Amino acid sequence: MNSSKKILRVFLFFIIFIPAYFAVYNIYVISSDKFTVENITRIEILGMDGEVCGEYTSGDDIKIYIRTLDNATQIPEANRQIEYEQPLILTFFKGEKQFSYGMYMSDNPNNCIIKTSEGEFLHMNEKDAERILNTPMADVIYKNNKIPAASLIYQGEDPIGIYPSGGDWNLKKPDGKFHPSTVANIITQSNKAKAFQNRPFDIRFNIEPDVLYIDVKDGKEIIFSDAYGNFLENFSYDAISDLQYALTAEWWENDANDYYGNASYIIDVRYYVPAKFEISHTEAEPGDIVAITAYNMSEEESLILTTDIGYETKFVSVGANRVALIPISPDFVGKTFSLTLTSDVNEPIDYYLKINEKEINFLFLSFDSVYSMCYSSACCSFCT
């Protein structure tokens, strides 16, 4: 009988005490200042663009980031100017409270820093830093993290940016392996540019490719396809046209570089050829009209004629051409004027116009002839 009572007491003890123990333990764990798997319900990481790039609720993942903080060592100050950097924001959710840390990453895993909400600095353990650097969320911190852009150089003008329309890009990370980059650098629309028959199409990349090919299309027809170097030496078109340049670039994988990949660039090109000019006179006389005609001009191309004659002369469209007319006044006799043509495509062209005295041809007629002409027409009383 006594033994039955003892068993009952032990049983009641466990029923009452153990749940109470766990309740007290859970309250202690949740209220503890230390982060534990039990008191952290979620971890969130914001990327440098402010978007969520990591969210973890499993105990194993939470344990990893708790260990990242535990392994970091306090330092008096950051060893680089992090005020100019955008960190990854690591947030621990503990009940209704949130605790955020700035992770200032570097492509050097031994130079990664954590900044607490209290403004203290922690030096991240190298192994923990490597683990984060090997993930896609750290792609933005690598120097050559995206498909290279290019610049089209026009002499005397600002460069035009040329961006890839497709391609693949890979980064070498601290684990020694190449990983696909998640940093976007692709545009959906075509690039737009001008090209000139009498100027090189000078395109330069911020990382020069190992090979570069180009296809030139007029409508659907490919009119040129070769290496870019051969294009610069050999390509020429004889008419103002709307063309499309499709460039394909490759960067090879090797031990010297921390990247490799390929890319395509589509450029809608307005192709210009130099205008041809013709002057009707290089020597003129009073009463003449000197015409300068421009052939092979596009509608949007500007054309300016400057002279030292003393008044402004403009071009007008005449069919597919443009014409400027210069009337020659008697005041111009004995002078030589300079004329300069300037267009968007051509180098300035100079002409010189010499104004001579007008020759007067006298017609000598006999008196009988004059009399006969006047009499027959009854032109004057003198003759009658």
**Tens digit of each residue's pLDDT, the chain (384 residues):** 556 656 656 555 556 555 544 444 344 344 456 899 999 999 999 988 888 989 999 999 999 999 999 999 999 998 888 888 999 999 999 988 999 999 999 999 999 999 998 999 999 999 999 999 999 999 999 999 999 999 999 877 889 999 999 999 999 999 999 999 999 889 988 899 999 888 889 999 999 999 999 999 999 999 999 999 999 999 999 888 999 999 999 999 998 999 999 999 999 999 988 778 888 988 888 888 899 898 877 777 788 888 888 767 788 888 778 898 888 888 888 888 888 888 776 778 888 888 888 776 544 444 444 444 443 444 443 343
DSSP letters, 128-197, are HHHHHHTSGGGGGGSTT-SPPPEEEE-TTS--EEE--SEEEEEEE-TTS-EEE-------SSPEEEEEET
Q: Which amino acid is at 266?
A: I
pLDDT (0 to 100) of residue 270:
92
pLDDT (0 to 100) of residue 384:
37
8 A C-beta contact, residue 45 and residue 140: no
pLDDT tens per residue across span 54-82: 999 999 999 999 999 999 999 999 888 88
pLDDT (0 to 100) of residue 295:
81
What separation in angstroms does the CA of 291 have from each of 230, 318, 350?
41, 12, 15
What domains are there in the chain, each with its CATH number? 42-141 (no CATH), 150-272 (no CATH), 276-355 (2.60.40.10)
User: 143 is written with which tokens?
Assistant: 């120097």
Question: What per-residue string of b and e applies to 338-356 under the rule 16 or more CB within 10 Å gives b?
Answer: ebebebebbeebebebebe
pLDDT (0 to 100) of residue 234:
95
How far is the C-alpha of 123 from the C-alpha of 129, rounded, in Å? 10
8 A C-beta contact, residue 348 and residue 307: no
What separation in angstroms does the CA of 103 have from each of 58, 72, 86, 89, 90?
21, 11, 9, 6, 7
pLDDT (0 to 100) of residue 301:
74
Q: Which residues lie closer than 8 Å to 124 by C-beta, 6 or more apart?
A: 68, 71, 72, 103, 112, 113, 114
How far is the C-alpha of 162 from the C-alpha of 267, rounded, in Å? 8
Q: Which amino acid is at 380?
A: C
Nearest Cα neighbor of 257 from 104, 148, 133, 129 is 148
Q: Which residues lie closer than 8 Å to 301 by C-beta, 6 or more apart?
A: 272, 275, 343, 344, 345
Give Rg (Cα) of the chain.
42
pLDDT (0 to 100) of residue 3:
63
pLDDT (0 to 100) of residue 381:
38
How far is the C-alpha of 70 from the C-alpha of 33, rounded, in Å? 13
